[in-house]
Amino acid sequence: MTAIWPFETVLVANRGEIAARVLRSVKALGLHGLVLHHKADHAAPALALADGIIEIEGATPVAAFLDGTQIIEKARTAGVGAIHPGYGFLSENANFCAAVAQAGMVFVGPSAQAMALMGDKVRARAFVAARGFPVAPSAIEDDDPETFADRARVLGVPLLIKPAAGGGGKGMRIVRDLAVLDAELAQARREGLRYFGDGRLYVERYVERPRHIEVQILADHHGTTLHLHERECSLQRRFQKIVEEAPATTLTVQQRKAICEAAVGIAAAACYRNAGTVEFIFGDGVFYFLEMNTRLQVEHPVTEAITGLDLVAEQLRIAAGEKLRLSQADIRLDGHAIEMRICAEDAAAGFAPCTGQVLAWHTAVGAGIRTDAGIMQGARITAAFDPLLAKLIVHAPDRTQALALARTALRETVLLGCGSNIGFLGRLLAHPLVLAAELHTGLVEAELAALQRPTLPPQTAQAVLAAAALASQALLQAAEAVPPMHAAMGAWRN
């Protein structure tokens, strides 16, 4: 532990499961933890964990969490010394990062300069290519807006359109027919403006059936940059990750070494500090730089499982100016971990958002099982925020055992009152291609029909519901209980 912390109170400028997760590490280090709260949130675990709550307001709940000026002002009033942004919201906003520092507080993350460089996908790509790291053939609108579409056509199809300021898969579009390129560029520009306030685009040659491999890095302010091995994030839907694993499957020793060393080289060249993730597209034995996420990733728990490290604690120590306590040789690789994102969405209805009150929430327990939850019983799930409710993480000696444990943990996880993708995740992890580690980013979409819930005949469905009801001890006790009025009659008979 750091002998003398330069800050005593940390504000988690976020909500949901990541707010609770960060608070646990903050308090384990002996620091005070505060959390933001909007009235649209109900029965959030983070509120019970925090030492204090900062109420925020806005035209919409999301707008409140994006109001950096309000957050910084209230943080200063509350005596906050450091702000941890979690992920999403303001976590990759370089202006917010700089404003936190200007207000005399510590931002738990990289510098505003590094964030601005690597957060801009076009600048980051040019920076990486100029230093000799592999990038896919591309056309960048900023180079010459007038010829952008023509230069994109020269690349040939398939093409992948991306917003320059994008992230999280938003605004990305695949083009397989050049006849629709102009229309797709226009739509992507509108989406970039809507999601990021920036309509600039770039286009790169799309790698068919690619794998998405990313490398977790840690870097301190004393010149040390380490990798914590890689993660497999190829199971996606519409460029949104669903299941993540660590380490990546089927990489050779040489491929793993090359991709991890490239990530460290990119981070070091950018003078990056704190935790970050360098992402790559991998196909036919070749990898290309995709982007760098200048924050803690949703899937960081799988890295924690295989390395035994607490990434949030490491972030806080780095932010406090402490040297990394480990060398690259000290980073161990232990077993296999899988994370499943439990979301309030209906797979049978095109993954439409689900809402409702959480009537029952029981998480799986046991060796190798971890649940990072942003809900609790009694919470009301609305459409105000992202549909991610919780993350279920398992860790076992190898991938086969981890998959088996993951399916068991999903079966033992109960959420009633709000629809979720728990059943869909179970079917996905039982799919033959997933079991065989034949993964690629288009697998879920290609196998979507096979992954849907089987339709039961009405009589069978009624029988299953009846059996489930009869298996409930509470229901049986209620059905067999003697009403108080009758019980008061004693043994009297007519």
| Residue 474 neighbours by CB under 8 Å, 6+ apart | none
- Is 240 in the same domain as 322? yes
3-state helix, strand, coil in the chain (%, to 5): 40, 25, 35
**Amino acid at site 23:** L
- Lowest mean pLDDT segment, chosen from 194-208, 346-360, 403-417, 421-435: 194-208
Residue 117 tokens, joined? 């460089």
Which value, to the nearest 10 degrees, does the dihedral of the CA atoms of residues 247, 249, 253, 258 take?
A: -70
CA distance 1 to 313: 9
* Strand ranges in 89-141 using DSSP code E only, listed in sequence order: 106-107, 138-140
- pLDDT of 219 higher than 90: yes
| Residue 105 neighbours by CB under 8 Å, 6+ apart | 7, 72, 75, 76, 80, 81, 82, 83
Mean pLDDT of 85-89: 96
- Is 21 in the same domain as 146? no
Q: Residue 140 has what DSSP assignment?
A: E
- pLDDT of 39 higher than 80: yes
Q: Is 461 exposed, middle or buried (0-12, 13-18, 19+ CB in 10 A)?
A: exposed
Residue 492 lies in a domain: no
Mean pLDDT of 202-215: 92
* Strand ranges in 111-179 using DSSP code E only, listed in sequence order: 138-140, 159-163, 173-175
- pLDDT of 494 higher than 60: no
CATH number at residue 153: 3.30.1490.20
Residue 152 lies in a domain: yes
Q: What is the mean pLDDT of the chain?
A: 93
Which value, to the nearest 10 degrees, does the dihedral of the CA atoms of residues 237, 291, 60, 356 take?
A: 30
Each residue of 263-282: pLDDT tens digit? 999 999 999 999 999 999 99
User: How far from chain centre, in Å, is Cα 402?
Assistant: 20
- Is 393 in the same domain as 321? no
Domain housing 50: 9-108
* Residue 416, strand partner residues: 360
Residue 405 tokens, joined? 């444990």
- Helix locations, 201-299, DSSP H: 253-269
- Is 127 in the same domain as 269? yes
Residue 468 lies in a domain: no
Q: Which residue's structure tokens are 């190898």? A: 398
Q: Which pairing describes strands 52-55 and 32-37: parallel, antiparallel, or unpaired?
A: parallel
- Is 187 in the same domain as 317? no
Residue 433 tokens, joined? 């291609």
| The domain boundary residue, chosen from 71, 90, 108 | 108
Residue 341 tokens, joined? 């994102």
Contact 104, 7 (CB under 8 A): no
Contact 322, 218 (CB under 8 A): no
CATH number at residue 366: 3.30.470.20
- Is 240 in the same domain as 321? yes
| The domain boundary residue, chosen from 205, 227, 244 | 205
SS3 readout for 292-305: EECCCCCCHHHHHH
Residue 271 lies in a domain: yes
**Residue 1 pLDDT:** 47
CA distance 338 to 402: 7
- Is 378 in the same domain as 397? yes
Contact 14, 45 (CB under 8 A): no
Each residue of 310-352: pLDDT tens digit? 999 999 999 999 999 999 999 999 999 999 999 999 999 999 9
For residue 2, what pLDDT band results from cuts at 50, 70 and 90?
A: low
**CA atoms in the 13 A half-sphere facing the CB of 125:** 25
**DSSP state string for 86-97:** -SSTTTT-HHHH
Contact 443, 433 (CB under 8 A): yes
DSSP 3-state of 115: helix
* Strand ranges in 68-181 using DSSP code E only, listed in sequence order: 82-84, 106-107, 138-140, 159-163, 173-175
Element spanning 195, H or E: helix 181-196
Contact 291, 279 (CB under 8 A): yes
- Is 240 in the same domain as 165? no
Residue 493 lies in a domain: no
pTM equals 0.88
- pLDDT of 485 higher than 50: yes
Domains identified in the chain, total number? 4
Residue 391 lies in a domain: yes
For residue 197, what pLDDT band results from cuts at 50, 70 and 90?
A: confident
End-to-end CA distance of the chain: 76
- Is 194 in the same domain as 234? no
Q: Which residue's structure tokens are 């068919």? A: 208
Residue 99 lies in a domain: yes
- Lowest mean pLDDT segment, chosen from 19-23, 76-80, 93-97, 158-162: 158-162
**Residue 466 pLDDT:** 83
- Is 153 in the same domain as 170? yes
**Amino acid at site 11:** L
- Is 262 in the same domain as 130? yes
**Residue 108 pLDDT:** 98
Element spanning 354, H or E: none
Q: Which residue's structure tokens are 């694993």? A: 245
DSSP 3-state of 356: strand
Residue 94 lies in a domain: yes
- Is 37 in the same domain as 118? no
- pLDDT of 473 higher than 80: no
CATH number at residue 59: 3.40.50.20
Contact 389, 343 (CB under 8 A): yes
Element spanning 226, H or E: strand 225-237
- pLDDT of 492 higher than 70: no
Radius of gyration of the chain (CA): 24
